[in-house]
Every structure is written in structure tokens, then in C-alpha cells.
Amino acid sequence: MKSKNKTRVLVVDDSALIRQLLTKIINDQPDLCVVDTAPDPLVARELIKRHNPDVLTLDVEMPRMDGLDFLERLMRLRPMPVLMVSSLTEQGSEVTLRALELGAVDYIAKPKIDIASGLTAYAEQIAEKIRICAQAKVGSQYHKAPASSPRPQLGYRSTEQLIFVGASTGGTEAIKEFLIDLPADMPGILITQHMPENFTRTFAERLDSLCSLRVKEAEHRERVLPGHVYIAPGNQHLSIQRSGANYLTCLSDAPLVNRHRPAVDVLFASAAQVVAQNAIGVIMTGMGRDGAQGLLQMHQAGAYTLAQDEASCIVFGMPKEAIAAGGVDRVLPLNQLATAVIERVGQRMNRV
């Protein structure tokens, strides 16, 4: 909670049904309460001034002002934690990623059908996301690398080294800034970011358009190539396997780990077992402890491990747990992680 009092939430949605459902879900929690609701951003603007809420839930498609336009103005004039309410569609995922770029902390993916029972089924998740938002740091957290000045290439084409990245809340922007800072000929990179189905493909396509590296949603049993980034698909664990001289991706619908699928621990544990000292592990912003044990296993297997520092994290949960577990070699700001990885890759190259 923000204080000894309840976390105070303003619900903004043009649907009276959604406003009613979210209000009930939030007010049923002992530590949360809805201070008011608004049918559009213009009403919301006045209610923000009146109530000074801790968290805002914001729909995307609304009358009088688009949710993204409102979010952009809000984050410029009065930054506050915002939880987006987005449809679970391809179009909805594109808009949601844009909202996260503008400064939203997280999002609720509305079911495409039977919204009433769907949202009620997500009640615990919605409440947890609001709690995360209440703890999150908002504002300009990230270093923006100029797209016109790509990193010089390393002259590196070996398939021995691999880089593994895990993130959750705040991770879409952190991963983007990390990858933008890497040259096109890095070792293969595997990433688990907590996201639902339909969002990860859009996320990968967005990164691919911005980065020198080739970014794609991972497929089952494809060869991991230098200069390529593989994003774990929503609702599937991603891990690494060895087949002769090649590394292959492996996708699985095995049970949730740390309440997640994909889970960072699954990816990191496979890196420890299969890649060992030739792996580099990076854990970024996110709530919870997913990835902490996996990164420790990587560290114990001889991998080089990095964690994003508290000041540059939206939520310092996952890196904090990894550091406490003793599995982190270096703790660095987001805008120094890429340089540290490049330097490590160069050191390993020089040893060969």
C-alpha cells in the first residue's frame, strides 16, 4: 500500500459495465478502494484534481479524447501510476505497447468475449497489478538511444556464447532500450518477458523495427543464430537445448512456474545446465522473484550475471531478489547493461 490507508484508485472507462465490475473487484480488496469513476478523460481530468488518486485505470478507446492522447498529456503534466485496460487482440496489443512507451506501468488484458465473467475471473490478478502500480516509479526512467547512431559491429559470428534476459513489469521498455544499444552481430539472445498470448508477437515485431538485431517470437526447435533475438511466446515456457554443435529453442506448455508461463526461471535454469560458462544472464525490472533462482544457477555454473539497478527499474522486485540470492556479478543502471554485455562478449572472444 501507498500508506497506512488504502490505495486509492480512479477508474476511467466509457463502459458503465466495466466501471461497475472494476469498482466491485477493487473495493472487495481490504487494501484497495475506488475513489471515483469517469466515463471519459475530460471527466477524469477533473476527478484527478479533486481526489489525487494513487493509481489510475485507463481504457484506450473512449469518447471525447483517445486514451493514448490523454495518457501522453497526463505523463507530461502530472505523472502518476497508470494501469491500462486493453482488449486481448492484435490491435489491442499494439496500442498497449504504445501506452507502455508513453509511461503506463502495466495493463489488464480484457477478454474478447463475456467480459463480465472474464474480468471477475481475473480479479486477483487485477488487484495485484494495482498494488504493483502503486509501488512503481513513474516518469522518465529510461535512456533513449538515438536510432541514427547504431553500435559498431564486433566482428563476432561464433555460436558458442548466448545471452539470456528476463523481465516483467516495466520490462517492455527496458528490453527495448537494452537491445537498441546492441550491434547487429551479437551472440544469440533469448528473452522471457511476462506477457500474454497475442502480445509477444507484436512486441517482437516492434523491437525488430527498432533494433539492429533481428527480433522474432521464438518457435519450437529452431536453431539459435548470432544476431538474432528470440522472445518467449505468451503462455509458453522458453528454454535452450543442445543438438550437436547447435543450440535449439524449446517451447513448452508445462505448468506455471512462480505463477508465470513463460517463466524466467525456466529459461535461466536451462541456460545454467546447457550453456554454463558461455552464458550471460541479465535480469531486469519486474515484480516478484521469478528468475532469482535461475540466475543463481547460472552464476554457480560459471555464467556472467547482471542485474538492473533500483534507480532505473520501474519495479525493483526481480533484480532485488536475484541480488539477495547471491547470483549477481554486477548491478548496473539500464543504460550501462548493453555496454557491460558487449565488453564481456569481447573478453570471451579474446580468450578464444
Catalytic residue positions? Answer: 168, 194, 290
Query: Residue type for 19, please?
Result: R
Residue for grid cell 548491478: 331
Burial-class residue 338 by CB neighbours within 10 Å (0-12, 13-18, 19+).
Answer: buried
Query: Residue type for 160, please?
Result: E
Q: How far apart are CA 177 and CA 37, in angstroms?
A: 35
HSE, side-chain direction, 13 A CA sphere, residue 189: 30
Q: Cell for 233?
A: 511466446
All residues at 6 or more sequence positions from 24 whose CB lies less than 8 Å from its CB, including other chains: none
Q: How far apart are CA 192 and CA 148, in angstroms?
A: 27
C-alpha closest to that of 221 among 250, 186, 195, 241: 250
Q: How far apart are CA 189 and CA 311, in angstroms?
A: 25
C-alpha triplet 19, 94, 183: angle, nearest 5°: 140
Residue 310 is given by DSSP the state G
Q: Cell for 18?
A: 466495466
**Strand spans (E) along the chain:** 7-12, 32-38, 55-59, 82-87, 106-110, 162-167, 188-193, 214-217, 228-231, 237-243, 246-252, 279-283, 304-308, 330-332
Q: How far apart are CA 261 and CA 236, in angstroms?
A: 6
Residue for grid cell 493509481: 55
Q: How far apart are CA 293 and CA 321, in angstroms?
A: 9
